[in-house]
């Protein structure tokens, strides 16, 4: 079934969430624009970027500049575009930013020392979507099953390997595949895999599509012991919850505990301090309005927004958070 047909059958909260994925129409200002390299147009990076642009652009005339959202392939592409100066801002997971500044794959020998944090955003939850007909109720039940963990080098692949290790599931006893995660819902529905791992913000259209097909699916909960071991093994991971309200066709409803990694709005150190200060000030002084722009932002706190440590804060962001008393 086409994803937009599924949205028509979804609950009112889903319809509202879908509408909020589309950025507000901007007036035809002659002013120059700053661009945020985000993600695909149906994803949470695009939604978060659009929310930032909407808040900032209420002052576009006063500031003589506006912010625009640009679709992209995600974290790696966003880092590359900011480093190249193609876009002034980007959104990426903390884990990918850390790889960039340390010169790890795909930046081997080219550490990206100029990246600076602007705002901490929502957590990307490590989500396991599993077929109900395969008797998979918890992570340990993945033994003997077919699990897709995304392409080698991706965050999904990294977290999938870590999850199996920490959960005590030998990788040799799982049939692993590396299909693109964006297509995993199709493979699950047609029976090519039994489960897939997707590190993503919620609500997410891929998970909605997987849960709305003929094959019934559920999201696997992580128990407290597993969460504690995962966060101890990787300090960038943090406890997270998935709200199933947006997936009414799931086999099992209720809050799903898991772990996640925070998404970050970032820029380059060369961007003017006053520009970044104004953007952060507009978002933070309209924080409740900002969080209402999309469900993925609703749990965000001011301390989350200011608490990014994998790369230094941009001086403009640092100045605002200090003046607002959020950081020392």
- Cα 81 → chain centroid: 18
Check pLDDT > 60 for residue 232: yes
Identify the CA nearest to 131 among candidates 288, 251, 306.
Answer: 251
Give me the helices (H) in 23-66, please.
Answer: 44-56, 60-63
H or E element at residue 282: helix 273-285
The confidence score (pLDDT) of residue 180 equals 85
Q: What is the mean pLDDT of residues 142-150?
A: 95
Q: How far apart are CA 202 and CA 278, in angstroms?
A: 28
Query: What pLDDT, on a 0 to 100 scale, did the predictor assign at position 15?
Result: 36
Q: Mean of the pLDDT values across residues 157-177?
A: 93
Q: State mean pLDDT over 56-66.
A: 96
Q: Using 50, 70 and 90 to split pLDDT, how confident is the model at 32?
A: confident
Has residue 21 got a pLDDT over 70? no
Q: What confidence score (pLDDT) does residue 39 get?
A: 87
CA distances from 35 to 250, 280, 285 (A): 37, 15, 21
pLDDT surpassing 50 at residue 20: no
Rounded Cα distance between 62 and 289, Å, is 20
**Going from the N-terminus, what domains does the chain have, and what CATH number goes with each?**
3-122+263-323 (3.40.190.10), 124-261 (3.40.190.10)
| Predicted local confidence at residue 181, as pLDDT | 84
In this prediction, residue 158 carries a pLDDT of: 87
Query: First and final CA of the chain: distance in angstroms?
Result: 52
For residue 140, pLDDT over 80 is answered with: yes
| pLDDT confidence band for 18 (50 / 70 / 90) | very low
Angle, CA 303 vertex, CA 299 and CA 308 arms, to 5°: 105
Q: Which residues contact 294 (CB under 8 A, 6 or more apart)?
A: 17, 20, 21, 44, 47, 48, 51
Mean pLDDT, residues 44-62 taken together: 96
pLDDT greater than 60 at residue 163: yes
Q: Which residues, 6 or more positions from 231, have their beta carbon under 8 angstroms from its beta carbon?
A: 237, 238, 239, 259
Mean predicted lDDT score pLDDT of the chain: 89
pLDDT at 322 over 50: yes
Q: What does the pLDDT average to over 107-112?
A: 94
DSSP-assigned letters across all residues of 239-261: EEEE-GGG-TT-SS-S-EEEEEE
Higher per-residue confidence, 11 vs 183:
183
Distance CA 188, CA 278 (A): 45
Q: Report the distance separating Cα 144 and Cα 234, nearest Å.
A: 26
- Per residue in 185-224, pLDDT tens? 999 999 999 999 999 999 988 899 999 999 999 999 999 9
Please give the distance of CA 201 from its chain centroid, rounded to a whole number: 4
139: pLDDT strictly greater than 80: yes
Over residues 56-75, mean pLDDT: 94
Pick the more confident residue, 41 or 83: 83
């Amino acid at each position: 079934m086409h994803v937009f047909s599924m949205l028509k059958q979804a609950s009112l909260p889903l319809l509202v969430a879908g509408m909020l994925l589309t950025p507000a129409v901007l007036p035809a200002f002659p002013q120059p624009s700053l661009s945020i390299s985000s993600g695909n147009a149906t994803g949470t990076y695009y939604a978060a970027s659009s929310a930032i642009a909407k808040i900032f652009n209420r002052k576009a005339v006063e500031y003589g500049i506006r912010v625009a959202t640009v679709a992209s392939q995600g974290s790696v592409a966003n880092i590359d575009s900011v480093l190249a100066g193609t876009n002034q801002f980007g959104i990426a997971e903390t884990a990918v930013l850390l790889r960039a500044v340390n010169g790890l794959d795909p930046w081997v020998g080219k550490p990206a020392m100029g990246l600076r944090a602007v705002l901490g955003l929502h957590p990307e939850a490590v989500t396991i979507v599993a077929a109900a007909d395969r008797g998979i109720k918890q992570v340990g039940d993945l033994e003997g099953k077919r699990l897709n963990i995304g392409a080698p080098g991706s965050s999904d692949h990294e977290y999938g390997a870590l999850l199996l290790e920490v959960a005590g599931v030998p990788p040799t006893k799982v049939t692993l595949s590396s299909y693109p995660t964006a297509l995993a819902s199709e493979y699950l529905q047609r029976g090519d895999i039994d489960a897939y791992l997707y590190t993503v913000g919620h609500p997410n259209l891929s998970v909605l599509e997987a849960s709305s097909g003929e094959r019934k699916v559920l999201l696997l909960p992580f128990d407290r012991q597993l969460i504690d071991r995962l966060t101890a093994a990787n300090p960038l991971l943090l406890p997270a919850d998935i709200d199933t309200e947006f997936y009414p066709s799931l086999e099992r409803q209720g809050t799903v505990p898991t772990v996640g990694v925070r998404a970050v709005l970032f820029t380059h150190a060369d961007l003017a301090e006053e520009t970044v200060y104004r953007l952060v000030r507009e978002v933070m002084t309209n924080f409740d309005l900002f969080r209402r722009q999309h469900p993925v932002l609703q749990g965000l706190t001011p301390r989350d927004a200011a608490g990014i440590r994998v790369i230094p804060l941009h001086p403009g962001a640092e100045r605002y958070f200090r003046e607002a008393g959020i950081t020392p």
